[in-house]
Structure 1
């Protein structure tokens, strides 16, 4: 029982990271029709800045804030210089561009900080015992911080004027312009929010995995699996899908085979999509031809 509880908590912590990253992907996609494949690599740059500050004696929390700031600034620079000039509706072109940016960011990180993996500072250390299991405090903090961030995003979109405006732009940029909403300004805010969530997810994930130039690639792919499982346009689905992927991944690694954990998780995702192509919480759309 204690082993199962440990696996479950670890899975929820991993799923919280995937859910945060998936939520960022969905927010950016709904606002600008861009699948931001560079999100993880840009967040990795921020993590390297945080480690550099930590090595110089800066408190960990300030390093994490710097990681978020650097990620957001780099992402907005990418949007304004190489994504926005593409124009609306260039989904495939934007996807290819973000892939290119991802490779550039990884090479930049390797050139500046080296290719060798590095430790990333934990927010907290130690364990707590519950039902006979020694649960890492870092995992519990990850779950708590991710839940708080998700709740704040939910409040933003459900209860604030800014959130309503962002939802309006996501539904119809043309309509948003007619009623006087600044679509570009709201798109920048959406990118900043999505990138900030990705950086936060990276800060919660890296203490367990270590830091390397491709450290966030695996969480990014699992976040993609989560948003397709939950529904590409559903923020709620991104969170639930990410949590499901995290729990399934850890259960498969511990009770099936660590070598086939990804096979198990992605096979399950494909099976769900074959039955429900729009995902668990997505909405089926129809087009006249």
Structure 2
């Protein structure tokens, strides 16, 4: 029982990271119709800066704040200089450009800091005993911080004027413009929020994975599996899908085969999409052809 509890908590912690990254992807996609593949690589740059600051004696928490800030600023610069000039409706072009930015960011990280793995400090050390299991304190902190961040995002979109305006832009930028909402300003806020969530998830994930230029590639694709599982346009779906992927991934690795963990997760996702193409919480759309 204690082993199962340990596996479950570790899976929920991993799923919380996938949920944060997936939530950031969905927020940006709904606001600007851009699937931001560069998000993870930009967050990795922020992590390298955080490690560099720690090596110079800066507190880890301040390094995490610096990583989030750098990720947000770099992402907004990418949007203003690379994505926004494309104009509306260029989904495929924007997708390809963000993939290119991702490759450039990974190459830059490797050139500046090298390709050798670096340790990223845990925010907390030690374990917590519960039901006979020694649960890593870092995993419990990951779950708590991710839950708090997701709750704040839910409050923002459900209870505030800014959240209502962002939902209006997500439904129709033209409608938002008619009622006097600044679509570009709200899009920037959505990008900043999405990038910040991804950077927070990266900071929570890095202590268990180590730091290399491509460290977030696997979490990014698992986050994509989560948002397709939950529904591409659903923020709740991104969270629940990410948690589902994290738990299934860890259960498969421990009780089936570590080499088949991704096969198990993505096979499950495909089966769900065959039954419900819009995902668990997505909305089916109809187009006249």
Range into which the TM-score falls when normalised by the shorter chain:
over 0.9
Match of 2:239 in 1: 239
Is 1:4 the equivalent of 2:4? yes
* Runs of at least 5 residues in structure 1 that lack an aligned partner in the other structure: none
Match of 1:189 in 2: 189
Tell me, what secondary structure is at the counterpart of 1:123? coil
Tell me, what secondary structure is at the counterpart of 1:135? strand
TM-superposed CA distance for 1:27, in Å, is: 0.1
1:201-222 CA distances to partner (integer Å, 9 max, x unpaired)? 0000000000000011100000
Q: Distance in 2 between matches of 1:171 and 1:197?
A: 22
Q: Distance in 2 between matches of 1:160 and 1:281?
A: 23
Tell me, what secondary structure is at the counterpart of 2:58? coil
Q: How does 1:1-289 map to 2 (within 5 A)?
A: 1-289=1-289
User: When the two structures are aligned, how many residues end up with a matched partner?
Assistant: 289
TM-score between the two structures when normalised by the length of structure 2 = 1.00
TM-score between the two structures when normalised by the length of structure 1 = 1.00
User: Which consecutive aligned stretches of 4+ in structure 1 deviate over 2 angstroms post-superposition?
Assistant: none
* Runs of at least 5 residues in structure 2 that lack an aligned partner in the other structure: none
Q: Distance in 2 between matches of 1:46 and 1:78?
A: 15
TM-superposed CA distance for 1:160, in Å, is: 0.5
Q: Distance in 2 between matches of 1:89 and 1:270?
A: 27
Q: Distance in 1 between matches of 2:128 and 2:96?
A: 45
TM-superposed CA distance for 1:288, in Å, is: 1.2
Tell me, what secondary structure is at the counterpart of 2:135? strand
Q: Distance in 1 between matches of 2:61 and 2:162?
A: 27
Q: Distance in 2 between matches of 1:133 and 1:23?
A: 30
Cα RMSD over matched residues?
A: 0.3
